[in-house]
Chain A
Amino acid sequence: MKRSQNERVAELTLSLVALGSLGILTLITVFIFKEGLPALKEIGLWEFIGGTRWVPSKKIFGIFPMLVGSFMVTGGALAIGIPLGLGCAVYLSEFSSPGVARLLKSMIELLAGIPSVVFGFIGLTVVVPFIRTYFGGPGFSVLASSIVLGLMILPTMVSVSYDALRAVPESYRDGMMAVGATRWQAVRMVILPSARSGILAAAILATGRAMGETMAVIMVAGNATAVPESLLDPVRTLTSNIALEMGYSAGIHRQALFATGIVLFFLVTVLNLIAHAAVRGGSGR
C-alpha cells in the first residue's frame, strides 16, 4: 500500500518536472509581453515596426532599420554558412576516410563550444581591419557580421545535415554503384534529394541561431541605427539593439527594448516551428 503511494508521488512529481520547460516558456512569453506591450500600444505597432528612426532621447522608436539589419546579416551568414557547412557534411558523410571523419567531427563539436564573445573579438581584431583595408569603409559592416556569423553557424549546419545524410539508407548508395554511377552522381541524384528535409531543418536552425546571436554581432556590426545601403555599411540588429541600450534605459525606452524582444521572439519562434515541422515531415516519409 505504502509502496504504491510512493510510486504515485514519484510519478506526479516527475510529471510536474516535465512541464518545467513549458512553464519557463510561458513565463518568458508573459514577462516579455508584460514589459513590451505598453510600449507597442503607446507607439503603435506599425509605427514601431515600420518607423525608420530610433532616437530614444526624443522618444522616437522605429525598429525598421534593425529589422532590415537582422535580415541582411542573417542572409549574409547563410550565404556563407550553408554552402560551407553542407559541403563539409557531404564530404564527411560520403567521401572522407573514417579516421578523418572522426577527427573533423570532434573538431566541429569543439567549434560549437567557442563562446560568442571570442568569435566577436576575432571579428573585431581580424575581420574588421581586413575589410577596412581591402574593401574600404569603416570595416564595421554587414559584411563583417555576415562572415563572423557564417562561421558561427557552421557547427549547427554541419552536424544536423550530417545526421540527415547518414540517415539515407545504405542500399540507395549500393543501388547507384550497381548501375555504374560515380559516388558524386549518387550524392547529387539520390542522396542529397533524399536528405533534403533534414538539410532544410539544418538551414532553418542555423537561421535561428544567426538571427538570435548578440554579443558577436555587437562587436563587429558598427551598430548605426540607419538602414545600410551597401554590404560595407555599419548595421544594427534587433539583438544588439536590446543589448546595447538595456544597461542605461528606463521608462518607455526600456519598454521599447522589450518590444524589440517581442518581435525577435516572434520571428525565432516561427522559425523553430517550421524547423520542427520539417524534421517531422522528413522522418514521416
Chain B
Amino acid sequence: MNPRAESLVSKERVVRQVNLRKEKAAVTLLSFAALITAAVLVFVFVYIMARGLAAIDLEFLLSSPVKMGREGGIFPAIVGTLVLTAVSILVAAPLGVGAAVFLTEYTREGWFSKVVRLGTESLAGIPSIIFGLFGFSFFVIYLGMGWSILAGALTLACMILPTIVRTSEEAIKSVPSIYREISLALGASRWQTVTGVVLPQAAPGIATGIVLAIGRSIGETAAVIFTAGSSLRVPHSLLDPVRTLPVHFYILAREGISSRNAYGTAAVLLVAVLLVDFVAHFVVGRLFRGRGGER
C-alpha cells in the first residue's frame, strides 16, 4: 500500500472513531430518557404503596367513612366506583362494538366512514372536564336525572366510547378476510358471518379494549364529580348519587381531611387501576390465545 492510501485509510478510521464516540454519547442520553420514564412509574407506585398500605385493612375496605372521611373506611366509594363503571361499560360496550362492526364490515371507505371516524377521533381528544360540563347540563339538569349513578355512568360512557370503537375496529380488521369469504361461500348471511365468525375471532382484541375502558372509568375524576355527586352513602338505586374512589381521594387530599386515609384510598385506587390495565395488556390476549389455535 502506498503512503497516500495509508494516510487516507487512517483518516477514515479517525472519522469513524469520532462518529462512534458521538453515538455512544447519544445512546447514553437516550437511555437516560427511557430510564426516567420507567422511574416515574416505579416512584409513583412505591411512594403511594409505602404510605398507603399501612392504612388498609379489611375494616378500611368494608366500613363507611366517619366524620367526612377523617375516620372509618371507604366502602361506599368502592361500591360507587364499581356500580358506576359497570353501568358505563354496559352502555358503551355494545354501542362501541356495534359502531366498529359497521365501520369494518358494512361500509367501504367513503365519506360516511370518514365522517364517523373524524367524529370518534374528535371525541377522543375532548378533555374530561368538558364531558363533566356536558353531563351536568344534559343528563343532570336537562334530562332531570340529578346527581346520580345514571347521569355519571352515561357521561363516562360518552367518554370511553372512542376507546372501545378504536380498539374493536383494530381487532376486527385483523381477522383474515378468508374467514369471511368461507362463511359467505357456505351461504351464511353477512350478519351470521359477523356474529358467528368475525366477532369470536376478534374477541381478544375487543375484550382488551373494554378492559382498558374499565381502567379509565375507575380512575376518572373530572367527568364524574359534577355528574354523580359526592354522597358518602351506599346507593340503593341508579338515581342515587355516589362518590367514587378518585373523587373521595381528591376531597380527602385537597381539603386536608386525613392524609392517612387519603394515602389508603390512593393505594386502593392505584392497585385497582394498575391491576385492570395489567389484565388488559398481558392477560386477556393470552387467555383467548390458548383457545384460538393458529392465531
Q: Please report A residues at the B interface, Cβ cutoff 8 Å.
A: 3-4, 6-7, 10-11, 13-15, 17-22, 24-25, 27-28, 31-32, 34-35, 83-88, 90-92, 95-96, 104, 106-122, 124, 126, 151, 154, 158, 180-185, 187, 205, 208, 211-215, 218-219, 239, 242-243, 246-247, 257-258, 261, 264-265, 268-269, 271-273, 275-276
Contact with A along B277-291 (1 / 0, CB 8 A): 110011000000000
Q: Could you show 15 A-B contacts with beta carbons less than 8 Å apart?
A: A13-B98, A14-B106, A20-B99, A22-B115, A27-B138, A88-B34, A91-B34, A96-B31, A107-B42, A110-B278, A110-B281, A115-B218, A117-B250, A121-B249, A180-B16
Contact with A along B107-134 (1 / 0, CB 8 A): 1000000011011111101111111111
Main secondary structure of the interface of A (DSSP, over half): helix
Candidate in B31, B130, B133, B226 with the most chain A CB atoms within 10 angstroms: B133
Smallest Cβ distance from A9 to chain B, in angstroms? 9
Query: Quick one: closest B residue to A17, CB to CB?
Result: B98
Q: Are B40 and A151 in contact (CB under 8 A)?
A: yes
CA distance A111 to B175 in the complex (A): 29
- Note all chain A residues with C-beta closer than 8 A to B95: 17, 20
Q: Are B27 and A15 in contact (CB under 8 A)?
A: no
Q: Please report B residues at the A interface, Cβ cutoff 8 Å.
A: 16, 19-20, 22-23, 26-27, 29-34, 36-38, 40-44, 47-48, 94-95, 98-99, 101-103, 106-107, 115-116, 118-123, 125-134, 136-138, 142, 158, 161-162, 165, 189-191, 212, 215-216, 218-222, 225-226, 246, 249-250, 253-254, 262, 266, 269-270, 273-274, 276-278, 281-282
Smallest Cβ distance from A165 to chain B, in angstroms? 12
CA distance A144 to B133 in the complex (A): 26
Query: Quick one: closest B residue to A8, CB to CB?
Result: B191
- Note all chain A residues with C-beta closer than 8 A to B218: 115
Q: Are A28 and B130 in contact (CB under 8 A)?
A: yes
Q: Are A104 and B34 in contact (CB under 8 A)?
A: yes
Candidate in A19, A121, A265, A275 with the most chain B CB atoms within 10 angstroms: A121
Candidate in B191, B246, B262 with the most chain A CB atoms within 10 angstroms: B191
- Note all chain B residues with C-beta closer than 8 A to A187: 26
Q: Are B98 and A18 in contact (CB under 8 A)?
A: yes
A106 touching B282 in the complex, CB below 8 Å, given contacts A239-B129, A265-B126: yes
CA distance A121 to B225 in the complex (A): 17
A115 touching B246 in the complex, CB below 8 Å, given contacts A32-B130, A268-B126: yes
CA distance A261 to B130 in the complex (A): 6
Given A107-B41, A110-B277, output 17 extra A-B contacts at Cβ < 8 Å.
Answer: A6-B191, A14-B99, A31-B134, A87-B33, A95-B27, A95-B31, A106-B281, A107-B42, A120-B250, A214-B128, A215-B221, A219-B250, A242-B132, A243-B129, A261-B130, A268-B125, A268-B126
- Note all chain A residues with C-beta closer than 8 A to B161: 20-21, 24
Query: Quick one: closest B residue to A111, CB to CB?
Result: B41
- Note all chain B residues with C-beta closer than 8 A to A31: 134, 137-138, 142
The 9 closest A-B pairs by CB, nearest first: A212-B127, A87-B33, A115-B219, A22-B119, A184-B23, A17-B98, A14-B102, A91-B30, A113-B277
Q: Are A218 and B277 in contact (CB under 8 A)?
A: no
Query: Quick one: closest B residue to A34, CB to CB?
Result: B137
Smallest Cβ distance from B97 to chain A, in angstroms? 9
Smallest Cβ distance from A159 to chain B, in angstroms? 11
CA distance A132 to B38 in the complex (A): 26
CA distance A91 to B189 in the complex (A): 48
Pick the contact of A185 from B23, B38, B41, B212 — CB < 8 Å? Answer: B23
Pick the contact of A35 from B20, B137, B219, B222 — CB < 8 Å? Answer: B137
Candidate in B19, B40, B106 with the most chain A CB atoms within 10 angstroms: B40
